[in-house]
Amino acid sequence: MAYEFQGRRLQKVGVVGSGQIGPDIALYFAKVLARAGVEIVVVDVSDAALEKGRAKLHKKVDRGQESGAFDAAWASAMKDAVTFTSDYGHLDDADFIVEAATEDKALKGRIFAELERRCRADTIFASNSSHLEPERIFEGLADKSRSVVIHYFFPAERNPVVEIVPSQDTAPELRRWLLSFYEAIGKVPVQVGSRYGYAIDPIFEGLFLAAALLAESGVASTKEIDAVATKALGLTVGPFTAMNLTGGNPITNIGLDNYTSLIHSWYRSPKSLKDVVAAGRPWEVPGRGETVEVDAERTALITDALRGAYFGICSEIVDSGIASVNDLDMAVELALDLHAPFRFMNGLGTTEALRLVQAYAAAHPGFPVPALLEKHGASGEPFRIDNVLRQDEDGVAILTIRRPKALNALDQKIFDELRATFDAVKADASVKAVVLTGFGIRAFVSGADVRFLAKIENKDQGRATSRDSQDAIDRLQDIGKPTVCAYNGLAFGGGNELAMACDVRIARADLDVLAAQPEVKLGILPGAGGTQRLPRIVGFEHAARMLRLGNPISAQQALEMGLVDELVDGGIAELRARAVSIARDLASGARRAKGMPRGPVEVPASLPALELGHLSKAVDKLVCEAILEGGRETLARGLEIEAAKFGAVCATKDMRIGVENFLKNGPRAKAEFVHE
């Protein structure tokens, strides 16, 4: 058995190093590849490290099984898939090797020299370096084209982000393959240019430096700074706690001193860090559940300093050219679990962000004011951050909704981006067809962001919100070119409504949960065309069950009822390739879409009786009215009726109850509707 992906066959994956991160990388590979029969081998020269790594991996698998994340068979398969050994001979036939040894250039060089001597000419060589440039790590290789840095983040088996850092010698096809491969196995890969520290570690370590300098200056204690930092930057834990948890003091000590000459002179390892490393002790941080009180004046000083440092560091990284605003904004939020930097600056105002950076630079010699921020701050212009990405391939525009932290959920910004993108594609004569998909393997679009819905205050606002959403989706249906939706993952609510505006819909065959219109569980009804398009596509009986009960259907069920036209075996790469092929066939006339009636359709006298359980009878009445009244009219008129019903549902008590319950208790908690 093997895992095959875009022309490469993986039967054995190697991890060199059984220290802090190597076992976690092996665990992730086991989680995603073990069921395909892929063998994972962890090699280390230290028997003690191997035993410790094995115990760590098994403990994490056991915890996953206890929590219900893995069943017993899967847990057993994951453990069995990973071999821990000191024998490098086990890597001779490996297809892909990730080195995760100590951050030491000479050591890494010796490891890769040995691997090049042993392995096949097509084995991929990757280093999980956190700082060293790939040109330096792989300088001794005869064939550098198969080498690349792949930087994982703590904890590697759960943190979704990986930085893909190619050198000037890395083969472009390998870089493209890795970006697709990591997305296909559930990570969020970001391509970063080659510079010491790459894109994200200078932010993590730079924020720590800013915090350490505040402590050294006597503004506050490390415990107090940690407490303020969580609120100032949206961090889950403060910078000193993060250092304790990750064991990052030694490598940060080295990294900061190297940044001094390799990035700019503000960076350096502070005395307090050197002392902590020398003593081998942790930082003093808030205890679990401890409340740390800091007065307002010092809170403001800490907040302004940390934000000024954060905004300046992130803007300098984009200025350097190694990462884009789009990629860095997404990656930092996911990898470091703090406010996305450029959205954060937009929220505060770029003029205010510039002021904070200028103030920080004035107080800290060597800290630059990046040109990017000067430009935006001087005019107050917000940063452009795209969540709808467009890639054209020989006349086919592939549009990908990328918002992984929210499972590609729709909010007003996304609807506006979709509207603008659809208009641009329509006007572009070089585009002959369109493929619409989502980023990753979990969701096409998970629905509308409920926080977006919670802002609706009355009937008129509800109707206007519905009409605005309908307008964006109508522009897809009226684009005038063939459109194909590739369901890469689940499509709930507005996601499924968006998909239904496409001419052809295809989905991954392995999706046990594909589509749902769960709005009734929130105390609302679909407002972006669901009550009108779904009955016209799958018939009133199927549509009524989906719209009135809100339960999901599988890919196979979607095929049987006609929601999707085709199921694709394989992963997202095969799905997208098939979508592009269908789009080209539609554009050439080699294939015709079955279409959806836009005029009135035959409507039953009534909808079948259903057991609603806890669901709102008041909401159900409006859903039924929208389905039946809209079906008797043209699609355009039906959408107006739906918007009116959506406005009406926003005036009900049950809408408030449903949305508040979701925000407070999550999607699994049943709302206590009062049917009013």
Q: Which two tokens stand for residue 192?
A: 């970063």
Q: What is the dihedral of CA 344, 348, 354, 358, to 10 degrees?
A: -100
100 close to 130: Cβ distance less than 8 angstroms: no
Among left, alpha and beta (phi > 0; psi -120 to 50; other), residue 39 is: beta
Strand order in the sheet with 515-516: 443-445, 490-492, 515-516
147 close to 169: Cβ distance less than 8 angstroms: yes
CA 466 to chain centre: 27
Alpha-carbon span 312 to 333, nearest angstrom: 16
Alpha-carbon span 14 to 125, nearest angstrom: 10
Task: Decide the pairing of beta strands 433-438 and 483-487.
Answer: parallel
Phi, psi (degrees; rounded to nearest 5) at 613 = 60, -130
Phi, psi (degrees; rounded to nearest 5) at 450 = -65, -30
Alpha-carbon span 169 to 146, nearest angstrom: 8
Alpha-carbon span 22 to 33, nearest angstrom: 16
Alpha-carbon span 251 to 165, nearest angstrom: 19
* Beta pairing partners, 98: 15, 126
Q: Is 352 exposed, middle or buried (0-12, 13-18, 19+ CB in 10 A)?
A: middle
Residue 347 host element (H or E): helix 341-348
33 close to 68: Cβ distance less than 8 angstroms: no
DSSP string, 145-175: GGEEEEEE-SSTTT--EEEEE--TTS-HHHH
Amino acid found at 499: A
The catalytic residue positions are 497, 519
Amino acid found at 371: A
Helices 371-379/350-363 angle, 10° precision: 130
For residue 396, the SS3 value is strand
Alpha-carbon span 541 to 539, nearest angstrom: 6
Q: What angle do CA 140, 141, 145 make, to 5 degrees?
A: 135
Residue of 235, 215, 204 whose CA lies nearest to 275: 215
* Beta pairing partners, 96: 13, 124
Amino acid found at 503: D
Helix/strand/coil (H, E, C) string of 119-134?
Answer: CCCCCEEEECCCCCCH
Alpha-carbon span 153 to 130, nearest angstrom: 9
Q: Which two tokens stand for residue 337?
A: 């679990």
Phi, psi (degrees; rounded to nearest 5) at 45 = -80, -15
CB atoms < 10 A from the CB of 254, how many?
14
List, in order, residues 6 or more apart from 550 with CB less than 8 Å away. Answer: 516, 517, 518, 519, 520, 521, 615
CB atoms < 10 A from the CB of 277, how many?
16
623 close to 541: Cβ distance less than 8 angstroms: no
DSSP string, 505-550: EEEETT-SS-EE-GGGGGT----SSHHHHHHHHH-HHHHHHHHHH-
